[in-house]
Structure 1
Amino acid sequence: MRSYVRLFWLAAGLVVPSIPAHAEWKPIEKVETYAISGQTGEQLYRSIGDNGPLIRGATTRTIAYTNFKLTWVRDYQHRGKDCVLASAKPKLTVTYTLPKPSNPLPPAVRKSWDVFIAGVTAHEKVHGATMIQMVHDIEAATIGLTVPDDPKCSKIRDEVVKRLDAISKARVQGSRDFDRVEFGQGGNLQMLVHDLLIGG
């Protein structure tokens, strides 16, 4: 039986499955931009504060944001009274939301901006990489999973959700820790903002 499951925040936790190296799939990565205005570094940064993404639950806007959409096609199979997750095919779309000046910039400001946006993009790409790794971790933790005495393949679904939950929480915490360092005293993003403000 095939199960079509949509998951946006994922989860993870029974029999350790053995699977071949990562199944053949590739993530889809997209870049979306939001418009900002200004002719100096300070003006551009102020415009980011006015127009940047507002992440759910937050009261202040952020410079950039990486989000994902993940769906799975899972094949649960009966083996006698047991149930096995025989395969799970993911479809992952990672979307990076970045600022983009709406007008041409003076040469000195453009130079500062190019350095700034390259650094911000690299930061967001790290978040994207953790999302891609999360999917590989889910594959490793669930494909081949066998639950005994589960003729309706119901217990195994609960177990898959538990494993997904653990993996998702670990990814979220890792992303928070990464941001804390990047935005902390002397951190990469803090320095990028500083250089944009004084460079343009």
Structure 2
Amino acid sequence: MAFRRFAAVLAVAASLAAWPAFAGPLVKETVEYYSISGRTGAELLREMNRHGPRHGFLRRAIAQTRYAPDIRGKLVKQDGVCRMKGGRFLLNITYVYPRPSEKLPSDVARRWKAFQADNVRHEKMHGRIAREMAVKLDRVLKTFSYRDRNSRCNMAMLKLEREVDKVVREYNRKQRVFDAKEHRQGGAVEKSIVALLGKPSG
């Protein structure tokens, strides 16, 4: 159960393009699954540890929320002030979950249903935080203005990159805080795994 963070600074300059003005960010959500086998909670957990989406170089996650951000618009200069024309923030969110490849015994199926529901709850919270960030970044784009002596708005571009980076770092921190709470000893993730294994939560 992990989220995929944005880079520290979005490549604003590389992704600027003309785009019509709409209200609010454009956020799309999709769901993907990876297949696992097993007929017990322990076997399913072992498969998730082997085949789950990568979280860093060495670790794998049970489920994951991936983000693909994009900034649309064009910096234009008028009366000495650079502003975003058609500025809009786009965000594609992909949720990745495990899915058993065969029918489970009834008791395991019952525990799996509860386990998967908790996976969805966890990842949807990552998605919610990402949506909040998208709203804030979209507002930054639409309200950005900077008086720049450079005809190509070079200094304005640097300032916009810094403002975007500030928002991204703020929401990356919120994602980490949420994960730390969920993954702490005795937290929601541990309880969910213990329940899948069919062990008493103690």
Query: Shorter-normalised TM-score: what interval?
Result: 0.7 to 0.9
Partner of 2:18: none
Instruction: Give the gaps of 5 or more residues in structure 1.
Output: 1-7, 13-21
Partner of 1:153: 153
Structure 1 distance, partners of 2:113, 2:7, is 33
Q: Deviations over 1:165-200 (max 9, x none)?
A: 11111222211111111111221111000100116x
Q: 2:82 touches 2:156 (CA, 8 Å); kept in 1?
A: yes
Structure 2 residue aligned with 1:18: none
1:187 corresponds in structure 2 to 187
The alpha carbon displacement at 1:27 in A equals: 1.4
State the match for 2:52 in structure 1.
Answer: 52
TM-score normalised to the size of structure 2? 0.83
User: Secondary structure of 1:99's match?
Assistant: strand
Counterpart in the other structure of 1:170: 170
Q: Distance in 1 between matches of 2:90 and 2:84?
A: 17
TM-score, normalised on structure 1? 0.84
Query: 1:38 — aligned with what?
Result: 38
1:136 aligns with 2:135: yes
Identity %: 28
Superposition RMSD in Å = 1.9
Determine if contact 1:64/1:120 at 8 Å carries over to the other structure.
yes
Offset of residue 129 of structure 1: 1.0
Query: What is the number of equivalent residue pairs in this alignment?
Result: 182
User: In the TM superposition, what whole-angstrom CA distance separates every residue of 1:15-51 from its partner, at most 9, and x where no partner exists?
Assistant: xxxxxxx924541110001011110111101110111
* Contact 1:142/1:163 (8 A) holds in 2: no
Matching residue's letter, 2:160: V
